[in-house]
Structure 1
Amino acid sequence: MTHTVDFELMGRRYTVRTDDDPQHVHEAAAMIQSQIDDLRRSGAAVASDRLLVLVAMNLAGELIHKQSATVKDIEGLISSLDELVSQAEALAKAPLR
């Protein structure tokens, strides 16, 4: 189901249509606004368009870092499962006492 969602960033109202949960749009807007506020508090006098680019780069960097960490976690789990399968196979082949 498509939803029309209104949100505000940097004092401007935006409207988007989404098939996603409207709450996710509001959470994303809040995350973006929080990063904008953080950059402004840091004392950087930056034009709005550059501010949005900086926020996009920060969020993309965080996403890349989390994806990389997730891949490493999955690889670790696969390795552990492979080891467990090997142990189970060895136990299955062992003679009964």
Structure 2
Amino acid sequence: MPVCVDIIGHARSLFGCSRYAFEAKPGFTLKGLMEELSKLARPDFRKSIYDVATGKMNEHIAVFVNAREARSLKGLDTELRDGDVVTILPPMAGG
């Protein structure tokens, strides 16, 4: 079972679809996943979510691995395994 990526909200506009699947080879990390996603996304992905040049994520983006916020794990160094579900959730406003 691959690593599934669910893209929520306006972040979907950066991609052609809202769900992707990747094979989790040993050592596959959240950073590696973001780099793979950047190859599939529109150029705004770098500004909105992840900048490949700096290796940093937008601080306002929430990324979850199996419903746990990635910052509470190992951040971009979180190792991914087959069957994991990664959710990218952009900031939301409202009231």
Shorter-chain TM-score range: under 0.3
Q: Which has the higher helix share?
A: 1
Higher relative contact order (CA 8 A, sep 6+): 2
Q: Which structure: larger Rg?
A: 1
**Structure holding more strand per residue:** 2
Q: Give TM-score, length-normalised by structure 2.
A: 0.25
TM-score by length of 1: 0.25
